[in-house]
């Protein structure tokens, strides 16, 4: 079965992210918006899905835990990378010292975002302090953003039959 949300195919990544932001505003009363700085490179389906899922989890966390009144999701292309940032003005929290401690502290959604970013050779950084809000930044290398995986899902080569 396909775990790719149909909205990505129907309207594309940026409108799908705007839909997530609108949903946060309607469901949780948090003023959310999407900002795109410059022209984004053509994104592989894999990169679109990864960015959508990270944004979905980050915005879900804003709605459930932050107490924020405002959230901004921004996308920016750099020469060698694509950056997506989700920032809120909420209550923030104290981060564990190590990414591996996220699971032990019950922050499985944050751990999942880290793992998703690593799938495409990217990095995810979370900064938060009590009463200072939270910012989640994912940075993907342009090489990963444009990489296409063959339909069928596996990039492995088949062994010839003997």
138 vs 142: CA distance, rounded Å: 13
Beta-bridged to residue 127, according to DSSP, are 135
Residue 122: predicted pLDDT: 94
Positions of the chain with pLDDT under 50? 1-2, 148-162
Structure tokens at 18: 């705007």
Residue 106: predicted pLDDT: 56
CATH architecture of 6-146: 2-Layer Sandwich (3.30)
Residue 42: predicted pLDDT: 86
pTM across the whole model? 0.82
Residue 155: predicted pLDDT: 38
For the CA atoms of the chain, what is the radius of gyration?
A: 17
Residue 144: predicted pLDDT: 74
Contacts of 149 (CB under 8 A, 6+ apart): 44, 45, 46, 155
């Amino acid at each position: 079965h396909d775990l790719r949300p149909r909205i990505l195919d129907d309207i594309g990544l940026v409108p799908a992210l705007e839909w997530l932001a609108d949903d946060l505003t309607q469901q949780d009363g948090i003023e959310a918006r999407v900002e795109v700085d410059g022209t984004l490179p053509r994104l592989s389906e894999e990169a679109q899905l990864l960015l959508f899922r990270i944004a979905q989890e980050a915005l879900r966390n804003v709605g459930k835990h932050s107490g924020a009144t405002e959230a901004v999701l921004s996308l920016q292309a750099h020469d060698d990378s694509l950056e997506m940032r989700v920032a809120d003005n909420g209550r923030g929290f104290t981060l564990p010292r190590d990414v591996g401690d996220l699971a032990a502290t019950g922050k499985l959604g944050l751990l999942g975002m880290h793992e998703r970013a690593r799938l495409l050779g990217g990095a995810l950084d979370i900064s938060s302090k009590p009463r200072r809000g939270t910012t989640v930044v994912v940075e993907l290398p342009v090489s990963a953003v444009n990489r296409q995986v063959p339909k069928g899902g596996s990039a492995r080569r088949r062994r010839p039959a003997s």
